[in-house]
Amino acid sequence: MLQKLGSKEEDEGLRQVSFMNCEVGYFDLESCRVEPVENPFGAFTMSPV
């Protein structure tokens, strides 16, 4: 299943990457690397079924 990611320019050459309403990291255009944020889904937990 394909999921869409969002991105917006934060600074010159740096883009914020998000999924749904959660910031998941930053993409550095110069190094072509994504640096994740610590525990981007910390507020979300899976409930046992």
Question: Where would I find the beta strands (DSSP E) of 12-48?
Answer: 14-19, 22-28, 33-36
* Contact (Cβ atoms closer than 8 angstroms) between residue 36 and residue 27: no
Q: What is the mean pLDDT of each run of 10 residues along the chain (49 residues)?
A: 87 90 90 86 64
pLDDT for position 47: 62
pLDDT for position 41: 67
Q: What whole-number distance in Å separates Cα of residue 15 and Cα of residue 45?
A: 27
pLDDT for position 45: 61
Sign of CA dihedral 24, 27, 31, 32: positive
| The model's pTM | 0.64
Q: What whole-number distance in Å separates Cα of residue 26 and Cα of residue 42?
A: 17
